[in-house]
Structure 1
Amino acid sequence: MNAVEIEAALSDLAQQPFDQKEFPFEFLGAFGHKDTTLKRLRSGNNNTSNVTGGVLLRNHIHIASCETGTVGHTLRALRDSPTTAKAKAKFILATDGQTVEAEELSNGETTNCDYADLPNHFGFFLPLAGISTIQEIKDNPIDVRATGRLNKLYVELLRENPDWATSERRHDMNHFMARLIFCFFAEDTEIFSGISLFTQTVEQMGERDGSNTHEVLEAIFRAMNVKVTERANAMPRLPNWTNNFPYVNGGLFSGNTEVPCFTRMARTYLLHAGSLNWREINPDIFGSMIQAVADDAERGALGMHYTSVPNILKVLNPLFLDGLRAQLAEAGDNERKLLNLRKRMARIRVFDPACGSGNFLVIAYKQMREIEAEINRRRGELHLGSELPLTNFRGIELRDFPAEIARLALIIAEFQCDVLYRGQKDALAEFLPLDAQNWIVCGNALRLDWLSVCPPTGTGVKLIADDLFGTPLNQVEIDFENEGGETYLCGNPPYLGSKWQSEAQKRDLGAIFDRRVTNWKSLDYVAGWFMKAADYGTKTEATAAFVATNSICQGQQVPILWPNVFQTGSQIIFAHVSFKWANLASHNAGVTVVIVGIARPQNKIRRLFAVASSGDSVVKEAENINPYLAAGPTVWIEPQSRPISDVATMQFGNHPYYGGPLIFSIGEAREIIAKSPEAEQFIRPLFGGQEFINSSPRACLWVEDCKASDAASIPILQEKFVASAEARKAAKNDKAAQKLAEKPWRFRDQITSDFHTLVMPRVSSENREYLPVGLLNANAIIQDQALALYDAPLWNLALLASRLHLVWIGAVCGKLETRYRYSNTLGWNTFPVPILTEQNKIDLRACAEDILLARETHFPATVGDLYEPGKMPDNLRRAHERNDEVMERVYIGRRFKNDTERLEKLFELYSKMTAALATAKPATKATRSKTA
């Protein structure tokens, strides 16, 4: 369930008569717990509560319904109950049907409210549905409630008016919803005179069955597009009661004022939405959430589209807000310096070329208004109006409804800031009529000319966009004085890896990259925004910072994208390394992102941000940030067919290639051997990455061509060969599979060792302090989900197990989410190792042996067990630290201070080694060593 659904379920629960016995189960049901779970709790089978009236759901909550007036006593009993701790309950809750008290046990945070007010506290309990709570949602639940009510109205109206759901009418429907949102806000903030003027008018003038609601709304909307003094002559004639509504203008109520027909239920939904206190609406939250209402494909994710203010500020603060605050601090109470800062801010443009519902723009505007208000306070000029025009906050959005909401959100934000910093009277005096200028463009950002949307400087820009807020396609010029002003580009563009892009999106990228590079098709969609921002920066002084998937700063995408960006003169001036960009989706860990800021630099200092274990941001200053988001020289790590260092060759494990029947469990292997002992010679243990980490190999048939007839003579093996041949023949479009069906007994690759194999999983957790490399005997078969060094000298394991190597892999290889995705060509073959003496190799071999021996002392613990964060055995840790010390002394004669210093040295060494290789003669093909 999502946040909107949970709020609606709790609202329904709070409106029902309180049932002391049923409340705990109904409460859990509101958070999406299955009927089977609740049935078991009701029967008492899974309910271990020892509190009277208590229901305990393990790992979730301990609830008790109690007698009137005993809520506090019951909550203490829940807290003190040993079963609460034993069941690892996250929350305790007690209620008597009149009041509710609850506590989040991990942090001691509490809530206390009337029972009827429980829905307004739904955010407190969101972790019960696997949703990480966000403080803004907990503090101000109206945004979620408003989203849910408008969604019900939207769905009901489309059901009654199916023609409004067509592509031809969908814009009219979305425009109608934007008008409603404005009216709800206006009546609760005194923009409309009279209490609840809009909803009361709809209720009083409309029939209870909703049959004429559309006529009432059409009259209201028409009236707000006509000056009050001209309404008497308006045609068709306006009812007298519409004179209570002000003239709004701004294009919001111009053009087609047709309204979809209402049912009784739709009218009820509208009035319920209007009953909320829209004065409290938070435009950056509400806008992000409401955009899913108008999108059929996204409605299932209703309420999830919210980006927290702290995450947005990770972009905006280093982009320009930190600089403004620093100048404010430096100005102190100096009136001249304060005035200069205010003038500077009035010329700053913030441009989001993927603005969605405008949350980046809204947050930027609100933050700048806060700084401006402090300037005015220090200068004793609190009466002054804002000098920050909304037209300086520009955006491009592909879909028309979020574009409309973005402009509306900025209008609401402006009014709320005026009320906060100037007072209700002054805010109302200047709010209406709305400005007819349009600063949010509806269109494809990768196809539009950004200079036409946000020009370099001066006046006279024409915005070419779709119909928005009633404005024509070729909009009138926006006049503004911005000479010498700064431009900051920001946002969270769509990511979309190459496999998930539509043909139209691929053409978008092609239009940008075709003339620059041939292999652009592997780029993520977000790369288009960075390239267009870099091109934009060649025409005007601008700084851009976007949220992006971390994959654009890893692996194969780096040498495709970043050389083209840097060729424009742009460099990375700040970056935020990988972190989770969470939303309100249930059980969603969030996509892993980076933030990258680019500009044609004016100073030498770069800033590199990271999230510390405490959750706070830490920053490092550097002279250069390379495209791997590390302090160091700018390099492009490209796949190498052979190692650049003097190390063994690493190969993929053996691929079964549709030969699934050749692989089976250890248990099945025992059964086969029990029935046909002669089959044992053809069965080998099989290790992929996870099988190695968890010490849980599977089994496989391993048959050399010369022994195929012997194996086929064993009936149970022949059955598997037949199944393997059929599976390969079924891959009709794969000629290699068809050919391999002729030899159904073998894997596509048949590589083994003579003595031992070093194995490296292709994917492993980023939480481990070291990569999970290991040593297997020659009998083990390595599958393609792992990489192998066959009969490699053992000192190679010391390299692979070092902290230096983990840091290198984390920087240059791609990642699967945040997990390490190991690559032999990108990770191992590019790993820079100084020339090793024979003594170095002897020392490293000893280190490798010590690591393996330390592991053996903890048998049968698996590699996964031994390297679990915070649980590494002391002797194993000492072996790794000794290995790191020996390794690092080879590089710089001492231990590195931290991972940052490690990366800096590795990039420096890589640059030197590849430069030397480029001037050297091609090396002869390396031969595989057979000795340890």
Structure 2
Amino acid sequence: MNAVEIEEAVSELVDQPFDTAEFPFAFLAAFGNKETTIKRLRTASANASDVTGGVLQKSNIHIATCSEGMVGETLIALRNSPKTTSNKVKFILATDGLSFEAEDLTSGETVACAYAKFPEHFGFFLPLAGITTVKQIRESSFDIRATGRLNKLYVELLKDNPDWATAARRPDMNHFMARLIFCFFAEDTDIFNGEGLFTATIDQMSDRESSNTRYVISTLFRAMNTRIEDRAKAELPRWANGFPYVNGGLFSGSTEVPKFSKIARSYLLHIGGLNWKMINPDIFGSMIQAVADDDERGALGMHYTSVPNILKVLNPLFLDDLRDRLEEAGTNPRMLLNLRRRMSRIRVFDPACGSGNFLVIAYKQMREIEAEINKRRGESDRRTEIPLTNFRGIELRDFPAEIARLALIIAEYQCDVLYRGQKEALAEFLPLDAENWIVSGNALRLDWLSICPPAGTGIKLHAEDLFHTPLDQPQIDFENEGGETYICGNPPYLGFTWQSREQKAEIRELLGGRSSASGFLDYVAGWFVKAAEYIDRTGSVAAFVATNSICQGQSVPLLWPHVFEAGCQILFAYTSFKWSNLASNKAGVTVAVIGIGRPTSSPRKLFEHDDTGGVVVRMGASITPYLTLGQSIIIEKRNAPISDLSVMEFGNKPTDGGHLLLRPDEVPLLGLSQKEEATFIRRIYGSDDFINGGGRCCVWIEDTHLGEALAIDTIRERVDAVRRVRLSSPDKGANALAKRAHQLKLMRIGTRHAIVVAGVSSEHRSFLPVGLVDNRTTLTNLAFALYDAPLWNMALIASSLHISWIATVCGKLETRYRYSNTLGWNTFPVPPLTEKNKADLTRCAEDILLAREAHFPATIADLYDPDAMPADLRAAHERNDEVLERIYIGRRFRNDTERLEKLFELYTKMTANLGKSPKARRAATI
């Protein structure tokens, strides 16, 4: 269940007669517990409660109903219950059907209210459904409640008006919903003359069978688009004349309304009965945009970005500086006046604005600072000088763009009420200003300079186009004085594999038409390229939330030279952290916040999350595109190691149509003698085989044994099959390989042993999968090998230093580590090693192998399970890290950040005098 469904279930529960015995089970069902779970809890053996009238769900909640007036005492009994402690209960809840009390035993937060009001606190209990909550959701159930009701209405209207569900009419439907939302808000905040006026008029003037509901609503919309002085000519009915003139583009154009069924009318009246004063534009917009998106409706109420996360972008971008200037000004009238004037000319531009979260938060934060300025100057009732027209955005879809405009309007009104009072807010609110402007279009195709031009140039938007912004940019002509511009937002993340042909073309064109250059870039990279070009022309500053893939692997040399060549540097950044929505059991993407702009003399700020969830701020002269402090350097592939390391090569690519590879149980079917099997059969591993156990065999024929092999019928048949496969391939390289159809494409194997490195492995392991195989085992091209390399090379690969390097410079496949010999191993900086260093590291590698052997037949996957790694194996890795890191800096590194900064520093020194990458050399045997 999603949050909207839970809220509806809880609301239905409270509307039913209170049943002392059934309430605990009905409550649990409302939060998504299956009937089988409820049935089990009804039995004494499964219900561990030791409180009268209690039901206990292990690791979740202990509920008890009680007689009237005993709620407080019952809650104490639940808190003191030994069963509450032993069953690791997170919540306790007591109610008598009149009063309701609950406590989060983890945080200590409580809820105490009338029983009928507890649905307003349903967000408090969302963890019971596996949904991670944040403070805003817990405190504002209204937004989810309104979203759910609007969704029901939306779906019902589309069912009754199938033509409005078509692509051609969907914008009309979405525009209609935006008008409704405004009316619901306006009637509850005295913007309309009379609380509940809109809903009451529809209720009174439309018949219960809803035959004329569309006429009533359409007439009200027409009234709101008609100036008071023109009402007589408009021939509006008396019941519509009480509505004010709104305009601002919201009610201009067609006033057509979809057909309403009796059910749809009922839904509308129910929505109007909610208290729309409680709307929170910070989050409501993101939730409501899912209503109009068929693909997102399943996660209704989940699509919103928390204010703390938005402020990770906005604070270091410009808000912190405004607050610093406010602190510096103190009570100095002139300094305060200058700051207020500066703020009035600041523009905030979100070129992927969605439903306007970033713009709304930026506006509200700036109004808060302005209000403090006015207070210190003794001008608390002063009208704001911060225009909504300075908060601009681009959004691909029309409905979120429309909701973004509406969210800004609501935010402006709420700020006016908060800082100036409702009387002043109402006096200046209507008619709406036609210059509230969000563009609907493709941000990577539009010219940002036209939307947010440099200081001193102008653009204009006609009033009738406010809620139907044209894509033909020459139509736009809106006067603007200019000023500072700050670009921000959370652009869409989309890996190359999942991009459409058009999206790939957009990235390719932004990178100068080089198709190969865009092959590893996430779609979000396009916003950084566009922002850098904009900054080059205007001197602005930009900060985006981005998937951290753009700061890893091959994305770095593809993207960041474009940014740097435009004269930009990374001014601040938040290193990787999880950015998740509220969907139950849905993992969040790992992101970074990156701010770019022209070079300044100010120190660069790097924000990092510590183990306690707090944020540590570190400062330096520059930030690398890998989000470490240090010289801005880009790691590129090299053909040979920059350090004195053995050469790492791919395993063997079969290109055999499967005829040279066998399952172990197929080997006996070849009918080989023991000697023949020893000569012609080898074990072969890929990454998955190496990590999870198993593995296959392969036919292995050296040229010197070809005649002997072909004399064996079962082998000759397989060789002939390989020849046919290679000859029939459209690949000329495969055709050429048909001449040696008895062999894999590559025939690499160690004369004594090989060190194996998995090509792709889980990001959850603390160490990279690396191991040792004998000279009768070979590898596929899905793994890497150091053939006959000294064992101390394995100690390097098995270290925390190396996995930090690989995670940063190699990037990932989805979320898994993707190893690269040219980008990860050949670039790995290792200081010169003494013979003692090598001997110590060799002993560490041996200890790791011996620790693994002690747990035979456990696989690499078993041994390196982060929750079940054997203590002796972990200790062996700790000793390995201790030995290696002392070679680098004489002590252990404190964290990965320190590891990376040292590695980048060493890499810079080691490559300073290197020319082109030298050819690889094969390692000497030990």
- TM-score, structure 2 normalization: 0.90
Distance (Å, rounded) in 1 between the aligned partners of 2:749 and 2:29: 55
Distance (Å, rounded) in 2 between the aligned partners of 1:710 and 1:59: 67
- Gap change, CA 1:111 and 1:880, over 3 Å in 2: same
How far 1:631 sits from its partner (Å)? 1.3
Identify the match of residue 696 of structure 2 among 696, 700, 704.
700
What is the letter of the counterpart of residue 490 of structure 2?
N
Alpha-carbon contact 1:888-1:894 (below 8 Å) kept: yes
- 1:202 corresponds in structure 2 to 202
- Gap change, CA 1:262 and 1:708, over 3 Å in 2: farther
Identify the match of residue 366 of structure 2 among 365, 368, 371.
368
1:608 aligns with 2:606: yes
Identify the match of residue 819 of structure 2 among 804, 822, 838.
822
Secondary structure of the equivalent of 1:195?
Answer: coil
Secondary structure of the equivalent of 1:291?
Answer: helix
Secondary structure of the equivalent of 1:539?
Answer: helix
C-alpha deviations, 1:704-732, integer Å up to 9, x for none? Answer: 247999999999x99x989x999989x99
C-alpha deviations, 1:586-626, integer Å up to 9, x for none? Answer: 11121111111110122241111111112122111111111
Alpha-carbon contact 1:399-1:443 (below 8 Å) kept: yes
Per mean C-alpha deviation after superposition, the further-off stretch among 362-371 and 869-878 is 869-878
How far 1:27 sits from its partner (Å)? 3.1
Per mean C-alpha deviation after superposition, the further-off stretch among 101-110 and 128-137 is 101-110
- Gap change, CA 1:327 and 1:66, over 3 Å in 2: same
- Gap change, CA 1:465 and 1:677, over 3 Å in 2: farther
Per mean C-alpha deviation after superposition, the further-off stretch among 847-856 and 902-911 is 847-856
C-alpha deviations, 1:222-245, integer Å up to 9, x for none? Answer: 0011122320111xx211111211
1:605-644 superposed matches below 5 A: 605-644=603-642
Alpha-carbon contact 2:758-2:782 (below 8 Å) kept: yes
How far 1:808 sits from its partner (Å)? 1.6
Distance (Å, rounded) in 2 between the aligned partners of 1:247 and 1:740: 80
- 1:219 corresponds in structure 2 to 219
- Gap change, CA 1:187 and 1:78, over 3 Å in 2: same
- 1:806 corresponds in structure 2 to 803
Alpha-carbon contact 1:66-1:96 (below 8 Å) kept: yes
- Gap change, CA 1:429 and 1:767, over 3 Å in 2: same
How far 1:247 sits from its partner (Å)? 0.8
Alpha-carbon contact 1:592-1:817 (below 8 Å) kept: no
- 1:927 corresponds in structure 2 to 922
Alpha-carbon contact 1:461-1:477 (below 8 Å) kept: yes
What is the letter of the counterpart of residue 115 of structure 1?
Y
Alpha-carbon contact 2:545-2:594 (below 8 Å) kept: yes
- 1:399 corresponds in structure 2 to 397
How far 1:91 sits from its partner (Å)? 3.2
Secondary structure of the equivalent of 1:102?
Answer: strand
Distance (Å, rounded) in 1 between the aligned partners of 2:373 and 2:821: 56
- How many aligned positions are there? 921
- Gap change, CA 1:670 and 1:330, over 3 Å in 2: farther
What is the letter of the counterpart of residue 503 of structure 1?
R
What is the letter of the counterpart of residue 909 of structure 1?
L
Distance (Å, rounded) in 1 between the aligned partners of 2:395 and 2:639: 43
Alpha-carbon contact 1:438-1:471 (below 8 Å) kept: no
How far 1:655 sits from its partner (Å)? 5.9
C-alpha deviations, 1:609-656, integer Å up to 9, x for none? Answer: 111112122111111111111112222212223322221222345567
C-alpha deviations, 1:425-464, integer Å up to 9, x for none? Answer: 1111111111011421111111111111001112521469
Per mean C-alpha deviation after superposition, the further-off stretch among 497-506 and 3-12 is 3-12
- Gap change, CA 1:470 and 1:864, over 3 Å in 2: closer
- Gap change, CA 1:848 and 1:191, over 3 Å in 2: same
1:6-405 superposed matches below 5 A: 6-42=6-42, 47=47, 49=49, 54-66=54-66, 68-72=68-72, 74-76=74-76, 78-80=78-80, 84-85=84-85, 87-234=87-234, 237-405=235-403
Alpha-carbon contact 1:664-1:699 (below 8 Å) kept: no
Distance (Å, rounded) in 2 between the aligned partners of 1:665 and 1:40: 46
Secondary structure of the equivalent of 2:191?
Answer: coil
Alpha-carbon contact 2:659-2:722 (below 8 Å) kept: no
Secondary structure of the equivalent of 1:625?
Answer: coil
C-alpha deviations, 1:844-893, integer Å up to 9, x for none? Answer: 22333344445556777766676666987776666545544543454456
- Gap change, CA 1:303 and 1:785, over 3 Å in 2: farther
Per mean C-alpha deviation after superposition, the further-off stretch among 676-685 and 698-707 is 676-685
How far 1:659 sits from its partner (Å)? 7.3
Identify the match of residue 792 of structure 2 among 786, 789, 795.
795
Where structure 2 has 5 or more consecutive residues not aligned to the other structure, the ranges are none
- 2:508 corresponds in structure 1 to 510
Alpha-carbon contact 2:460-2:479 (below 8 Å) kept: no
Identify the match of residue 835 of structure 1 among 828, 832, 835.
832
- Gap change, CA 1:39 and 1:396, over 3 Å in 2: same
What is the letter of the counterpart of residue 824 of structure 1?
N
Secondary structure of the equivalent of 2:537?
Answer: coil
Distance (Å, rounded) in 2 between the aligned partners of 1:163 and 1:566: 50
Aligned residues: percent identity? 63
Distance (Å, rounded) in 2 between the aligned partners of 1:732 and 1:43: 66
Alpha-carbon contact 1:351-1:487 (below 8 Å) kept: yes
Identify the match of residue 753 of structure 2 among 756, 765, 782.
756
1:647 aligns with 2:679: no
Per mean C-alpha deviation after superposition, the further-off stretch among 312-321 and 95-104 is 95-104
Alpha-carbon contact 1:514-1:520 (below 8 Å) kept: no
C-alpha deviations, 1:490-512, integer Å up to 9, x for none? Answer: 00111111111111212222332
Per mean C-alpha deviation after superposition, the further-off stretch among 809-818 and 179-188 is 809-818
Distance (Å, rounded) in 2 between the aligned partners of 1:499 and 1:727: 32
What is the letter of the counterpart of residue 543 of structure 1?
V
Alpha-carbon contact 1:578-1:593 (below 8 Å) kept: yes
- 1:427 corresponds in structure 2 to 425
Distance (Å, rounded) in 1 between the aligned partners of 2:864 and 2:283: 41
How far 1:26 sits from its partner (Å)? 3.5
What is the letter of the counterpart of residue 902 of structure 1?
R
- Gap change, CA 1:71 and 1:894, over 3 Å in 2: closer
Distance (Å, rounded) in 2 between the aligned partners of 1:523 and 1:575: 19
C-alpha deviations, 1:204-236, integer Å up to 9, x for none? Answer: 1111111111111111100011122320111xx
C-alpha deviations, 1:309-363, integer Å up to 9, x for none? Answer: 0000010011001111111111122222111111111111000011110000000
Per mean C-alpha deviation after superposition, the further-off stretch among 602-611 and 800-809 is 800-809
What is the letter of the counterpart of residue 469 of structure 1?
F
C-alpha deviations, 1:148-198, integer Å up to 9, x for none? Answer: 111111111111111111122111111111100000000111101112001
- Gap change, CA 1:580 and 1:736, over 3 Å in 2: farther
Distance (Å, rounded) in 2 between the aligned partners of 1:734 and 1:866: 41
Alpha-carbon contact 2:248-2:466 (below 8 Å) kept: no
How far 1:749 sits from its partner (Å)? 5.8
Distance (Å, rounded) in 1 between the aligned partners of 2:278 and 2:264: 24
- Gap change, CA 1:467 and 1:233, over 3 Å in 2: closer
Identify the match of residue 903 of structure 2 among 902, 906, 913.
906
Distance (Å, rounded) in 1 between the aligned partners of 2:629 and 2:241: 65
Distance (Å, rounded) in 2 between the aligned partners of 1:231 and 1:588: 53
- Gap change, CA 1:651 and 1:21, over 3 Å in 2: farther
Alpha-carbon contact 2:435-2:463 (below 8 Å) kept: no
C-alpha deviations, 1:71-105, integer Å up to 9, x for none? Answer: 45554555555555555444344444444433333
Alpha-carbon contact 1:288-1:306 (below 8 Å) kept: yes
Distance (Å, rounded) in 2 between the aligned partners of 1:413 and 1:222: 25
How far 1:114 sits from its partner (Å)? 3.4
- Gap change, CA 1:759 and 1:436, over 3 Å in 2: same
Secondary structure of the equivalent of 2:444?
Answer: coil
Alpha-carbon contact 1:687-1:697 (below 8 Å) kept: no
Distance (Å, rounded) in 2 between the aligned partners of 1:40 and 1:710: 69
How far 1:266 sits from its partner (Å)? 0.5
Alpha-carbon contact 2:350-2:359 (below 8 Å) kept: yes
- Gap change, CA 1:215 and 1:635, over 3 Å in 2: same
Alpha-carbon contact 1:686-1:698 (below 8 Å) kept: no
How far 1:777 sits from its partner (Å)? 4.4
- TM-score, structure 1 normalization: 0.89
